[in-house]
Amino acid sequence: MPRYKIILEYDGKGFVGWQRQANGLAVQQAVEEAIHAFSGETVTLFGAGRTDAGVHALGQVAHFDLRRDFSADKVRDAVNAWLRTNAIVVLA
């Protein structure tokens, strides 16, 4: 099962923080939903750190596993396409 590392930057305004929570949209949830939208797979995104509500990040590192093998460019471009309406960008 391929493991994918991504590097993100985001404007934390409008998010309840990094970690998925019941009280609003988290960065983790938004990215997991974008990955699911392009791959059809439900994933868990593991961040190297967490941010609180409203906190921005430059260079947040995270990883996830998929059953199918995609090129790194395909993952970046597809996730960014689905995140277009959020203040999140996959850099690599």
Active site residues: 52
Q: How many CB atoms lie within 10 A of CB 87?
A: 15
CA distance 87 to 12: 8
Closest CA to 92 of 58, 51, 53: 58
**Who's near 3: CB < 8 A, 6+ residues apart?**
63, 64, 65
